[in-house]
Amino acid sequence: MNDQTGASERLAVPFDVERLDRLMDEAGIDVLLATSKHNAQYLLGGYRFIFFVAMDAIGHSRYLPVVAYEKGRPEHSAYIANRMEGGEHVNRPFWPPTLHASCWNTAEASDLAVEHVKKIGKENARIGIEPGFMPIDAYHRITSNLKGATFVDATGVLERLRAIKSTAELAKLKHASEMITDAMQATISAAREGSTKAEIIEQLRREETNRGLHFEYCLLTLGASHNRASSDQAWNAGEVLSIDSGGNYNGYIGDLCRMGVLGEPDAELEDLLAEVEAIQQAAFAQVKAGAMGGDLVAAGQQRLKSSSVADCTDFFAHGMGLISHEAPFLMTNHPVTYEGVDASRPLEAGMVLSVETTMLHPTRGFIKLEDTLAVTADGYEMFGDRGRGWNRGGS
């Protein structure tokens, strides 16, 4: 056992230290300062302070958690926290040996981060930060007090670290997906003729909350409309319903879409949803560890080209986990702005994908399936795979 591994075991570090050290080494980073809530949660083993789950602002400033990690030296790690998190540490101690639970604002958190970097002798090192998740006042305060340091974007390092989910993470994603699916089916069943979009969304919020999820959003369409915003539009007999929702279970996102109809689907509706399903299945067939990330995208797009509804249909796939778009990144700027850097890389067991086919039919409306797949050695496991046909409203 080397010293590094021994330190990791003694500290019960909740992530793969060797993987993080390798990624930091490849990126030329000596010390990491993680400041996003999702990466702080990951590095702390799943912990997120409940007081700031739904907000960041307090007083004149905001909550800014900082997890400091030195490559190869987990015993030099620190967690810089809000003052109220001291009680959390008493109940369930954080693993980093150094804890500063004394902050109310970004200035205090920044000064403590600088103090810690200097204490471990890394004031002239290459420091990895998250530019998209570091307030400008914190950035100026840290960089002006560490003038000998070089600052490096560590966003990609942390994305790669999170890309392979542990068994515990997969269980959370599966649970979130299954609870969302159950909530959607219950919501569609409870909706009646005359139920408005606002009422249906509120019903879904209650269904997800009652199942232990934190409700994130619901994108809903009724009838021929493609507008997914909440409104007083009512559901009418014979119309379709598309319900797309994200729910959060212990920080992990479930994100699925299912279809409903008020009455019985006619032959055209059966055919349209069957086309969406065929495109989904073509993509699914390419998913397994070792396959190129772009293979499933190419398969879905190829099947889409042969579809009679290709001119009003789109196919998309992306990674998911603690956030709704994360590694693997399979497509470039489609629709979210990032580079599809993982299209030419092999999928790995433990990655989680969202695969979605969306039809904006000119007369029948918004017809979509979105599914969650966990990559396995020889294929995939689908999470929340119920209700993928036409779910009947008012049943």
CATH number of 387's domain: 3.90.230.10
Determine the pLDDT at residue 10. 74
128 plus 179 within the same structural domain: no
Q: How do residues 337-377 score in pLDDT, each as one tens digit? A: 999 999 999 999 999 999 999 999 999 999 999 999 999 99
pLDDT at position 298 over 90: yes
Determine the pLDDT at residue 54. 87
- CA distance linking residue 241 with residue 350, whole number of Å: 33
pTM of the entire structure? 0.94
- CA distance linking residue 195 with residue 349, whole number of Å: 43
133 plus 274 within the same structural domain: no
29 plus 92 within the same structural domain: yes
CB of 364 closer than 8 Å to CB of 270: no
Q: Mean pLDDT throughout 291-299?
A: 98
Determine the pLDDT at residue 136. 98
14 plus 157 within the same structural domain: yes
Q: How do residues 310-343 score in pLDDT, each as one tens digit? A: 999 999 999 999 999 999 999 999 999 999 999 9
Mean pLDDT of the chain: 96
pLDDT at position 221 over 90: yes
Determine the pLDDT at residue 354. 98
Q: How do residues 158-203 score in pLDDT, each as one tens digit? A: 999 999 999 999 999 999 999 999 999 999 999 999 999 999 999 9
146 plus 221 within the same structural domain: no
93 plus 69 within the same structural domain: yes
- CA distance linking residue 254 with residue 216, whole number of Å: 9
Domain boundary (163, 189, 206) is at 163
**Closest C-alpha to 162, from 324, 338, 29:** 324
Split at pLDDT 50, 70, 90, the class of 65 is: very high
What would the two tokens of residue 241 be? 């319903």
Determine the pLDDT at residue 8. 56
Residue that the structure tokens 């560490």 belong to = 146
Determine the pLDDT at residue 300. 98
Contacts within 8 Å (CB) and 24+ apart, 338-347: 340/294, 342/293, 343/292, 343/293, 343/294, 343/297, 344/292, 344/293, 344/294, 345/292, 345/293, 346/289, 346/290, 346/291, 346/292, 346/293, 347/287, 347/288, 347/289, 347/290, 347/291, 347/292, 347/293, 347/375
pLDDT at position 212 over 80: yes
Cα-flanking dihedrals φ and ψ of residue 283, to 5°? -70, -45
pLDDT at position 1 over 80: no
Determine the pLDDT at residue 395. 80
The CA-CA-CA angle for residues 172, 58, 140, to 5°, reads 95
Determine the pLDDT at residue 9. 58
Determine the pLDDT at residue 235. 98
256 plus 272 within the same structural domain: yes
Strand partners, 97: none
13 plus 122 within the same structural domain: yes
Determine the pLDDT at residue 4. 43
CB of 316 closer than 8 Å to CB of 282: no
Distances (CA, A) of 108 to 37, 105, 134, 182, 334: 17, 6, 14, 44, 39
- CATH assignment of the domain containing 59: 3.40.350.10
Split at pLDDT 50, 70, 90, the class of 131 is: very high
State the residue range of the domain holding 80: 3-163
Domain boundary (133, 163, 193) is at 163
Q: How do residues 4-56 score in pLDDT, each as one tens digit? A: 445 555 789 999 999 999 999 999 999 999 999 999 999 999 999 999 998 99
CA dihedral of residues 147, 152, 155, 156 (deg, nearest 10): -160
201 plus 124 within the same structural domain: no
151 plus 210 within the same structural domain: no
Helix %, strand %, coil % of the chain (to 5):
35, 25, 35
- CA distance linking residue 200 with residue 219, whole number of Å: 11
pLDDT at position 3 over 50: no
Total domains in the fold of the chain: 2
**Closest C-alpha to 260, from 193, 211, 179:** 193
Percent of the chain with pLDDT over 70: 98
**Closest C-alpha to 71, from 116, 18, 117, 114:** 18
85 plus 179 within the same structural domain: no
- Distance of alpha carbon 293 from the chain centroid: 18
What would the two tokens of residue 135 be? 């307030």
CB of 219 closer than 8 Å to CB of 177: no
pLDDT at position 2 over 60: no
Strand partners, 153: 129
Q: How do residues 73-84 score in pLDDT, each as one tens digit? A: 999 999 999 999
141 plus 237 within the same structural domain: no
With a CB cutoff of 8 Å and minimum separation 6, the contacts of 367 are 240, 242, 259, 269, 272, 273, 276, 358, 359, 361
Domain boundary (120, 145, 163) is at 163
